[in-house]
Amino acid sequence: MRDRLLALIAGLLFPLAFAPYDLWPLLFASIAAAFWCQQQAGTAREALFRGWLYGIGMFGFGVSWVHVSMHDYGYMPLWMAIPFTAIFAAFLALFYGLTFYLSWRLGRSALAFAGLWLLLDWVRGWFLTGFPWLYAGYALIDSPFAPLAPLGGVWLLTLAAVLLGATVVQLRRPGPLRWLAGGLSVLMLITTGIAHTLSFTRPDGPLQQVALVQGNIPQDLKWQLSMRDRTREIYRDLTADIPADTLVIWPESAMTEFYQTITDFIEEQGRKLAERDSALITGVPWRTVGDAGVTYHNSIAAIPLHNGVDPAERVYHKQKLVPFGEYVPMQSLIRGLIPFFDLPMSGFTPGDPAQPNLHARGHTLAPFICYEILYPELVASRSHDADVLITISNDAWFGTSAGPLQHFQMARLRALETGRWLLRGTNNGVTAVVDHRGKVVDSLPQFQRDVLYSQYQPRTGITPFMATGVWPWLVLAAVLAAAGWGLGIRKTP
């Protein structure tokens, strides 16, 4: 019972390493305690249960904000939203139950534990559309380990964190794995030191002006028909005095009407800016009528659309859609059961993966809408010919919870992984400019209607992570798991 309670407490410590708490050293303490609990389990089944308890603590605390969107803005009763969130956390916790179970079967070594942790984190990122939240590496964005990100992304950071945390406990056990785990941990520390001296991208031209407009329209009002005219006024007025030679960014679904419905308004704003050698990038719902019927997209567009550039390079349709928020699985069965399954704009179609990046003011921008910025490989693959990353979001769905701050922390790591600046425009925060090292250059306070004026540096070049993606680290994780088993450490100490 004591060890089960420790597993739960260790899981509760894990989210404290992330925003908004940022107590990143607790990440290693949480992982070390988790590995100790796994080692002390008498059976594989007991290890699985302890891992599940660890995951319950991690997600029960770390993503508890999910109930805010369900209850406050999805109109789900609180007595239903809380159990739904608990079921969601319990399901995600199974991944760590499997990590404990399989690594127990493979000898209870730090190597197998770290390797399987990474492999199952990767599976969690795509299984049933994926939930790539709270990867351990994100907590290290402001730590001395951050320079590992351009080498191997969040995956290498996660592997380093788990290996180092588990090795502290592994050193207590006699045998060759103690020295192998210790040696690999020392190698990881040496690599971190060397990484501080490396740079893989370089400036590409002079600094550019940017203005990010934060409309701060309350989520419970945003989609009401009565707010449409007022929404136009807010963004028109905030944009009117932006100086010339500026890239202007409006957030995700800044306009709650389809582009095809309000073409005149949006294009007029774009033309006014173009007359001052500026350009408008805006989030806007998109409607397409084709042979297969009518499809709807969550989109981002460079306005005006027709200014001598191929229109295909002026509009990007979101690829990674949020279940229930942007599309409803099995919608023929569950639409109408509860209000949460009928959220506004929850019938989108994903965009084509082969879409080109956006072009504005002579630069190439890699665009990502909200949740997409959480997919490391997607961002890395679209960044090769881009000067800068741009992401727009509407985190008002999560109110004053930790969700928006966690989201921003993860977005920052994409800048570090690709060696490019990140421009982040949101409805109510965090609106910010992040440099190629993942550091915040400028930001607006949350829940404030304002314009963030800043600069960004276009950059070019390829980081090792952009060149290789996740696969080298999945192979390494599998090798570590195999080494833990192959060295024969399979008996209870």
Measured CA to CA, the distance from residue 485 to residue 8 in angstroms comes to 27
Measured CA to CA, the distance from residue 249 to residue 281 in angstroms comes to 5
Measured CA to CA, the distance from residue 437 to residue 439 in angstroms comes to 6
Measured CA to CA, the distance from residue 487 to residue 136 in angstroms comes to 27
Measured CA to CA, the distance from residue 484 to residue 420 in angstroms comes to 37
Catalytic residue from among 252, 257, 326, 417: 252
CA dihedral 362, 363, 366, 369 (to 10 degrees): -60
Is 372 a known active-site residue? no
- Please list the helix, strand and coil fractions of the chain in percent, rounded to the nearest 5, in that order: 50, 15, 35
- Residue 45, burial from CB neighbour count under 10 angstroms (0-12, 13-18, 19+): exposed
Is 37 a known active-site residue? no
For the chain, the straight-line distance linking the first and the last C-alpha, in angstroms and rounded, comes to 20
Catalytic residue from among 37, 370, 372, 417: 370
Catalytic residue from among 46, 257, 318, 320: 318
In the block, residue with structure tokens 């290996």: 163
Contacts of 122 (CB under 8 A, 6+ apart): 155, 470, 474
Helix H or strand E encompassing 189: helix 176-195
Is 370 a known active-site residue? yes
Contacts of 312 (CB under 8 A, 6+ apart): 355, 356
Measured CA to CA, the distance from residue 374 to residue 424 in angstroms comes to 13
DSSP H helices in 69-170: 78-105, 110-124, 149-170
**Rounded to the nearest 5°, which phi and psi values hold at 27?**
-60, -45
Closest Cα to residue 387, out of 426, 352, 361, 413? 361
Closest Cα to residue 156, out of 214, 203, 114, 124? 114
Measured CA to CA, the distance from residue 387 to residue 252 in angstroms comes to 21
Give the active site residues.
Answer: 252, 318, 370
